[in-house]
Amino acid sequence: MQPDTIFLSKEDENEIVAAIQLAEKNTSGEIRVHIEQTTSKVPFDRALEVFYELKMNETQLQNGVLIYLASADKQFVICGDKGINEVVATDFWDSTKEIMAAQFKQGNFKQGLIDGITQAGEQLKTYFPWQTDDTNELSNEISKG
């Protein structure tokens, strides 16, 4: 597979970042997307590693959500920090993954990511509503490995 710039166009990436900004508008939660071509590790283990590399574990309310995608491996993981994991339904991440996988199977990677971001944003809004003193603690840009 070609580099990730081919996987998602710059316009696609801009739309994904806009979806993150929109999702975070109503919550104190933080959502990040990380894309890399491949990993030699178990995808969940690599996602957790990236979670810490991006300092997502340092949000004040422990409410960061990472969507990790290894494009050439056709693997993706959603992981949330302790604060969100303690309050969402036990099947929340699985149901979000299913929504995303349905789009991915059709080759709609941008839409799958946007759907996952939107779903995560709705849950974050429910449990971590935006407060007047909220600050954007983490970048909304897509990180790449």
Output the average pLDDT for the chain.
Answer: 90
pTM of the model: 0.91
The H or E element containing residue 61 is none
Looking at residue 139, its pLDDT comes to 79
The pair of structure tokens assigned to 9 is: 């166009």
DSSP string, 101-123: HHHHHTT-HHHHHHHHHHHHHHH
Residue that has been written with the tokens 């929504």 in this structure: 99
Burial class (CB in 10 A: 0-12, 13-18, 19+), 4: middle
pLDDT per residue as tens digits for the range 75-102: 999 999 999 989 988 888 898 999 999 9
Residue that has been written with the tokens 């992981």 in this structure: 79
Looking at residue 105, its pLDDT comes to 94
Looking at residue 2, its pLDDT comes to 37
User: Residue 70 pairs with which residues in a beta bridge?
Assistant: 36, 75
